[in-house]
Amino acid sequence: MKPAPFDYVRPASIAEACAILSEAGGGATVIAGGQTLMPLLNLRMSQPFILVDINGIAELKGVSRAGGATRIGPATRQAEALRDATLARQLPALVTALGHVGHYQTRNRGTVGGSIALGEPAAEMPATAVALGAEIEIASVRGRRSVKAEEFYLGPYMTVLEPDELVTGITYPDWPEGHVVLFREVAQRPGDFALVGMVGALALEGGSIARAGIAWFGMGPVPVRARQAEAALLGTGLGDIDADAVAALAVADTAPFDDHHASAEYRRTVGKRIFARTLREALDIRSVA
């Protein structure tokens, strides 16, 4: 199928992009990498009047450090982020998750911000942002605001972004050096969206968990933060963690669905197992180290 007709504009600045979005009155859609949007356009499931290409906006690209946080420009290509030394050092969980986003060819064009802004509930990037406590910077002609990733998602492909708004940055707070990375994804083929997956980070202090951020993907209409599990882990000594019990708490926060690839019950059953296993393996490795 071919897309429905649209106008194409390629603004050179955030201000210009915001002005276009504002004038379009809801009829514009932003394209960054296009790796999820283009299929929707080709299938005519998305029919904007104006396509706003942000690939020409230099200020939306690149990785930077500021005030105890790492900022990723939303138009940064996934492949570039995967190779980025700052991200490798500061956000190993994000880099691990990025390796599971799409395929070699789609990561060459897909962007970190595009994946985050679209809000596919079974995708890795939104859940990673939620788990790591990222803030999403948003701009429009009305001004700028910042939203916690956890509050950014409303439902499948639905976010708090207003039609005139543009994501301008994703800021991930620092995690202490040597923090533990949690990541596991169950997908039928490499590059598929997950049947169930989890991502997160744990910071240890004096043999117990000092900070925890964990989120599910594929386990509900939005990326789901495992709040009860995080609470149970906080302050607990490594030797006292009952991985199965924590995993049960983690699953209790989810609302998975049935589709023809897997049932909700499968997602809960396997989710609990991979959560417990991932926790066990990550902490065992940690204690051995």
> Segment contacting another protein (CB under 8 A): 17-25, 57-65, 234-242, 254-262?
254-262
> Does position 277 bind another protein by CB under 8 A?
yes
> Segment contacting another protein (CB under 8 A): 140-148, 165-173, 181-189, 206-214?
181-189
228 in Cβ contact with 214 (< 8 Å): no
130 in Cβ contact with 168 (< 8 Å): no
> Segment contacting another protein (CB under 8 A): 20-28, 38-46, 131-139, 199-207?
38-46
> Does position 34 bind another protein by CB under 8 A?
yes
Q: How far is the CB of 52 from another protein (least distance, A)?
A: 12
- The number of angstroms, rounded, from the C-alpha of 225 to the middle of its chain's C-alpha atoms is 12
Among 18, 51, 147, 201, binds another protein (CB under 8 A): 51
> Segment contacting another protein (CB under 8 A): 18-26, 220-228, 264-272, 280-288?
264-272
> Does position 39 bind another protein by CB under 8 A?
yes
152 in Cβ contact with 160 (< 8 Å): yes
Q: How far is the CB of 144 from another protein (least distance, A)?
A: 27
- Tokens 């992009």, residue? 17
Q: What is the DSSP letter of 62?
A: S
Q: Choose among 138, 126, 130: nearest CA to 162.
A: 138
Q: How far is the CB of 229 from another protein (least distance, A)?
A: 19
> 6: how many CB neighbours lie within 10 A of its CB?
17
Q: How far is the CB of 27 from another protein (least distance, A)?
A: 13
> Does position 280 bind another protein by CB under 8 A?
no
- Residue 7's H or E segment, with its range, is strand 7-9
Which is closer to another protein, CB of 34 or CB of 200? 34
Tokens linked to 45: 């499931």
C-alpha distances in Å from residue 146, one per residue of 6, 52, 154 = 30, 22, 16
At 150, is the secondary structure helix, strand, or coil? Answer: helix
Q: Choose among 69, 100, 105, 74: nearest CA to 86.
A: 69
208 in Cβ contact with 236 (< 8 Å): yes
Which is closer to another protein, CB of 175 or CB of 193? 193
Q: How far is the CB of 72 from another protein (least distance, A)?
A: 19
Tokens linked to 277: 């296993």
Residues that bind another protein (CB under 8 A): 1-10, 34-35, 38-39, 41-44, 51, 53, 55, 79, 102-106, 108-109, 186, 188-193, 195, 258, 260-266, 269-270, 273-274, 277
